[in-house]
Structures are given as structure tokens and as C-alpha cells.
């Protein structure tokens, strides 16, 4: 009974480790074809900092403006959470 319990725990820990490794790697969109860019429209951004609070690894304030640190799943998820829809996915024209 104890051996079975130990083997079950080892299996659970192994699967957790493998799953966390695979999910971290898949969080980063590596192909430029998937998403060309995620950026913040400075005309729409009201500096509420909700994106930074929710996704601190993907957004930062630089020179008084919110910057996207990379095209990640978090940055894409932030698009729907921005109250003014200032986070935009696509080509930046300015």
C-alpha cells in the first residue's frame, strides 16, 4: 500500500513538472506569423495600469507610457481586459 502511494505521488509530481515546462514554453508565441505585434495606443490609454497589475511580466511604464514587453499569451489576454481597448493586436502604423 505504501509503495503504491509513493509511486502515485512520484507520478503526480513528474506530470506536474512536465506540464509546467510545456506550458511555459508554449506561452511564448515564437512565430511572427502568429501575431505581428501587440502595442498600446497612446491616444486611448488612460494609464489606469490595470494591464501592469494583471500582467506585470508583459507590461511596464517607460517614459510615462505603457509599453508591451513582448508578444505573449498574457499580452494577448490583456487585450480584452483593457477598459479603453487601448491594447491592440496587429501592425502598428505611426
Cell numbers that stand for 57 in this block: 511580466
CB-CB contact of 88 with 43 (8 Å): no
Which of 14, 16, 26, 84 is the binder for ligand SF4 (CB under 6 A)? Answer: 84
Toward ligand SF4, which CB reaches closer, 83 or 90? Answer: 83
The rounded radius of gyration (Å) of the Cα atoms in the chain is 19
- How far apart are the C-alpha atoms of 33 and 11, rounded to whole Å? 37
Task: CB nearer to ligand SF4: give 28 or 48.
Answer: 48
Among 38, 39, 66, 74, the residue binding ligand SF4 under the rule CB under 6 A is 66
Residues in touch with ligand SF4 (CB under 6 A): 40, 45-51, 66, 82-84, 86-87
Amino acid at each position: 500500500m505504501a509503495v503504491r502511494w509513493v509511486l502515485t505521488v512520484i507520478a503526480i509530481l513528474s506530470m506536474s513538472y512536465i506540464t509546467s515546462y510545456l506550458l511555459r514554453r508554449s506561452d511564448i508565441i515564437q512565430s511572427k506569423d502568429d501575431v505581428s505585434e501587440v502595442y498600446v495606443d497612446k491616444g486611448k490609454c488612460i494609464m489606469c495600469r490595470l494591464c501592469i497589475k494583471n500582467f506585470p511580466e508583459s507590461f511596464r511604464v517607460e517614459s510615462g507610457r505603457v509599453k508591451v514587453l513582448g508578444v505573449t499569451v498574457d499580452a494577448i489576454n490583456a487585450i480584452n481586459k483593457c477598459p479603453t481597448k487601448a491594447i491592440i493586436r496587429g501592425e502598428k502604423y505611426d
